[in-house]
Amino acid sequence: MRILELTVRPDEVQLNIGQILKSRLGMNKRQISRAKFTSGGIMYLAENSEWTQVRVTGKLPAGSLLRVQLEDEQEGKVLPVQGPLDILFENEDLLVINKPAGVSVHPGRGHYDDTIANFAAWYLLNKQGDAEEDPESEGDQTGVAVRTVGRLDQDTSGALIIAKSKEAAEKLTREGAVKKTYLALADASETNVPALETGKRFTIDRNICKKEGSLNEFETTEDAAVGLRAVTHVCPLKKYSSELGDYLLCRMKLETGRTHQIRVHMASIGHALLADPIYGKPWKGPQLSRAALHCESLVIDLPFPGEDGVRQIEVTSPLPEDMKELT
């Protein structure tokens, strides 16, 4: 449950409460309706110092304190399991997790109780004061709702958002609400493809579609009627040479979020990510056992900005050791 409070400003006395919630909190009609029909969903602090239910069509004088209660819904519940969770940022609406490579985000085949979602469910339950104190306990068997925003493949490391309410998740999934930056190590040993110049930015704008006959492989296509448009902005930062071959450290920014987008796009120009088991070639070095891709930073439009006026934050994730050893 998330409780939001705001003070009615002098320029808002002619607005009804529904209009204030739309303009100040960015709540849409459905969210306001959901709160309206929740017991204690929309209240104000009356003169007798008691919280009193109020109609969304009503108006309040300047200085009135207004409270909105957002109830958690129960769909998408995950079994809470105690486990490691590296938190980069937290406020009342979201968590940003530093996800390690090799850990799945959601439960699935072979991973039912060892995912980021399981560990986040435990953490959120514990924050509410409902988790069992026994460290060996597996938590509340009924599960906890965990809403991840965006996705990272199992072998991709870096910053990942978990929203604490459905309303926060809805705002964070709006186009442009979250801007991601990635770091990757890309092969530069091929001689029959155009070389990439450090510091010279370029854009890959190619549709991505499922590869025919494959269950988990994607490819680019020149046919605009096939697949989904995908846009990746790339900036090669530094070139490295080793006995295992040449490679580049690149920074990428995405306009779209297609499955395997960076991996497919880089492979399509002859610069597949190092150690990519699907789109690259085998990496013989000991440092990497997964595609060298890391979500470096997130610029996030906060779902419900506070009275301090901060509307946007940037959260960064340090380069993991397996990639750091190669740079």
Given a cut of 70, is residue 104 above it in pLDDT?
yes
> Which stretch, 36-45, 239-248, 279-288, has highest mean pLDDT?
239-248
Neighbour tally for 181: CB within 10 Å: 21
Strand ranges in 48-104 using DSSP code E only, listed in sequence order: 51-53, 65-70, 77-78, 87-90, 94-99
CATH superfamily of 77-173: Pseudouridine synthase (3.30.2350.10)
Extract the tokens encoding 283.
């990496």
Query: What phi and psi, each to the nearest 5 degrees, are found at residue 6?
Result: -150, 155
pLDDT at residue 273 in the model: 97
Looking only at the bridges linking them, the beta strands covering 231-240 and 247-254 are antiparallel
52 phi and psi angles, rounded to 5 deg: -130, 135
* pLDDT computed for residue 76 by the predictor: 60
pLDDT tens digits for range 175-204 = 889 999 999 999 998 878 888 999 999 999
The span from the CA of 240 to the CA of 320, in Å, is 18
Q: How many CB atoms lie within 10 A of CB 215?
A: 6
Active site residue 153: yes
The SS3 of residue 67 is: strand
- Domain chopping of the chain, boundaries: 2-70, 77-173, 179-296
Owner of token pair 């070639």: 281
| Stated pTM of the model | 0.77
Catalytic residue among 72, 113, 140, 153: 153
CATH superfamily of 2-70: RNA-binding S4 domain (3.10.290.10)
Q: How far apart are alpha carbons 7 and 176 in whole angstroms?
A: 28
- Rounded CA-CA distance 180/159 in Å is 9
Asked which of 80-94, 121-135, 180-194 is least confident by mean pLDDT, the reply is 121-135
Beta strand 87-90 with 94-99 is antiparallel
Q: Strands across the sheet with 2-7, in order?
A: 2-7, 65-70, 42-45, 51-53
CA separation for the pair 326, 48 (Å, rounded): 65
Please say if the pLDDT value at position 71 is more than 80: no
| pLDDT, tens digit, 9 for 90 and up, residues 281-320 | 888 887 899 999 999 999 999 998 877 778 999 999 999 9
Average pLDDT over residues 76-97: 92
Give the C-alpha separation, 275 to 186, whole Å.
9
Instruction: Give per-residue pLDDT as tens, 6-40.
Output: 899 999 999 999 999 888 887 888 788 878 877 77
Mean pLDDT (whole number) for 51-80: 81
Print the SS3 string covering 287-315: CCCCCCEEEEEEEEECCCCCCCCCCEEEE
- Say if residue 163's pLDDT is above 70: yes
pLDDT at 167: 87
CA distance between the termini of the chain: 44
Residues 181, 255: contact at Cβ < 8 Å? no
**Mean pLDDT, the chain, as a whole number?**
88
User: Contact at 8 Å (CB) between 70 and 134?
Assistant: no
The pLDDT value given to residue 75: 52
* Same-fold call for 2-70 versus 77-173: no
Q: Under CATH, what is the fold of the domain 179-296? A: Pseudouridine synthase (3.30.2350)
pLDDT value of position 37: 74
